[in-house]
Amino acid sequence: MQFVPYLNFDGNCAEALDFYARLFGGQIVFKSTFGDMPPEEGMPPLPDAAKGLLMHAQLQVGAQLLMASDALPAMEGLDPEACGGGYRKPQGLWVSIAVETEAEGRRVFDGLSEGGQVAMPFARTFWSPGFGMVTDRFGTPWMVNVASAS
């Protein structure tokens, strides 16, 4: 079994994944836009503004996978709860990143902090040589945790 975080964005998924690929040293292995979807009977026409938004994308970082998409905007003739009901800020979760060294933890935390909001500064704790919590500029909440030195 593997758990794969699936992040949702408000129109800036491509920008966020490009940033994460650089920061985490990963590669975007799949991208598809809402405009790539084949027409389906009964589906209202997609607004032009939505066609370039990412319907689904995958970022590979080593053996780990992070999936993401933009939220489908509200569309006339479509139930507002369809496809999640539009973008909603993440609540009740943090994406936790485990890193090997304090230097790597600091680098990742500082990158995620640029333009974001720090909830707990990156510092030594009783369980780790480095831990911090931040919501990045894209609205995704992260915890960065350095593996405890044995």
22 contacts: CB under 8 Å, gap ≥ 6: none
Q: Are residues 74 and 103 in the same domain?
A: no
Domain-located, residue 18: yes
Of 55, 84, 113, which marks where a domain is finished? Answer: 84
Tell me the CATH number at 80: 3.30.720.100
Domain-located, residue 35: yes
Domain-located, residue 110: yes
Q: Are residues 44 and 104 in the same domain?
A: no
Domain-located, residue 90: no
Question: Which helix (H) or strand (E) is 19 found in, with range?
Answer: helix 13-24
Separation between Cα atoms, residue 54 and residue 145, nearest integer Å: 30
For position 52, what pLDDT does the model report? Answer: 93
The domain tally of the chain equals 2
Of 84, 103, 136, which marks where a domain is finished? Answer: 84
For position 131, what pLDDT does the model report? Answer: 98
Overall average pLDDT of the 120-125 stretch: 98
Overall average pLDDT of the 76-95 stretch: 73
Separation between Cα atoms, residue 34 and residue 46, nearest integer Å: 8
pLDDT tens sequence across 34-65? 999 888 887 777 788 889 999 999 999 999 99
75, pLDDT greater than 80: no
For position 70, what pLDDT does the model report? Answer: 94
Tell me the CATH number at 132: 3.30.720.110
For position 45, what pLDDT does the model report? Answer: 76
Q: Which residue range forms the structural domain that includes residue 33?
A: 6-84
Q: Are residues 102 and 64 in the same domain?
A: no
For position 12, what pLDDT does the model report? Answer: 96
For position 48, what pLDDT does the model report? Answer: 86
